[in-house]
């Protein structure tokens, strides 16, 4: 398998700092702001952005963790059952400005599941989507409001986001099957 580094640790940090400023520009009233990370690496990224927003504003920001596996539309196509993680949203999302955070935007199906799951918790004022990597190939009409990096990929390639919290290092890789 051939691999290429798309973002290294420093580039990920700079990208998250830029996105934090973009979020603060688009959601200036942070009293209504809540960050929702999609399990698993979206949660890692959301935690980092929460820290940066709090550092810049001096306000506590709500953070939720969302597992979308029970909302998937491909259960019958999977060779093994997906691992169910926890959902932890301990606050009301009604009338909140949510930023939904994931590592990679691909077909849009994960985001569709996340939107469906969130609406089971209430009716937010708004939901904006933040992704570290947008790799294209959308199957649904979904786009991100905040994008770390757009990467043109083929369907034979895979994007892996590694986080310090889960993998012991920060890196985004583009993987391609070797011929």
Is 33 a domain residue?
A: yes
* 78, part of any domain: no
User: What pLDDT score was predicted for residue 70?
Assistant: 79
Whether 137 is in a domain gets the answer yes
Residue 163 lies inside a defined structural domain of this protein? no
Does residue 20 lie in a domain region? yes
Q: How many helices (H) and strands (E) does the chain have?
A: 4, 8
Transcribe 59-118 into DSSP letters: S--EEEEE--GGG-S-GGG-SSPPPP---B--S--TT-EEEEEEEEESSSHHHHHHHHHH
| pLDDT higher than 90, residue 147 | yes
Mean pLDDT of the chain: 93
Residue 146 counted as domain residue? yes
What is the domain range of residue 138? 9-73+84-153
Cis peptide bond prior to 40, omega within 30° of 0: yes
Q: What is the domain count for the chain? A: 1
Q: What is the CATH number of the domain that holds 132?
A: 3.40.50.2020
Residue 124 pLDDT > 60: yes
4 within domain boundaries: no
In the prediction, which pLDDT does 35 show? Answer: 98
Residue 24 lies in a domain: yes
In 3D, which of 169, 161, 165, 176 has the Cα closest to residue 6?
161
Window from 24-28, 46-50, 66-70, 132-136 with minimum mean pLDDT: 66-70
Work out the percent of the chain whose per-residue pLDDT is above 90. Answer: 88
């Amino acid at each position: 398998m051939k691999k290429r580094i798309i973002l290294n640790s420093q580039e990920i940090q700079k990208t998250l700092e830029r996105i934090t400023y973009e979020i603060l520009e688009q959601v200036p009233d942070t009293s209504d702001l809540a960050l929702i990370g999609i399990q698993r690496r979206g949660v890692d990224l959301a935690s980092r952005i929460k820290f940066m927003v709090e550092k810049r504003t001096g306000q506590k920001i709500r953070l939720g963790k969302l597992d979308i596996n029970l909302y998937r539309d491909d259960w019958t196509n999977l060779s093994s059952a997906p691992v169910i993680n926890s959902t932890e949203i301990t606050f009301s999302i009604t009338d909140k400005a949510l930023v939904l955070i994931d590592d990679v935007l691909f077909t849009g199906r994960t985001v569709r599941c996340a939107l469906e799951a969130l609406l089971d918790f209430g009716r937010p004022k708004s939901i904006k989507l933040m992704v570290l990597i947008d790799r294209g190939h959308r199957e649904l009409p979904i786009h991100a409001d905040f994008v770390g990096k757009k990467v043109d990929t083929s369907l034979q390639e895979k994007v892996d986001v590694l986080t310090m919290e889960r993998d012991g290092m920060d890196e985004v890789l583009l993987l391609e099957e070797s011929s």
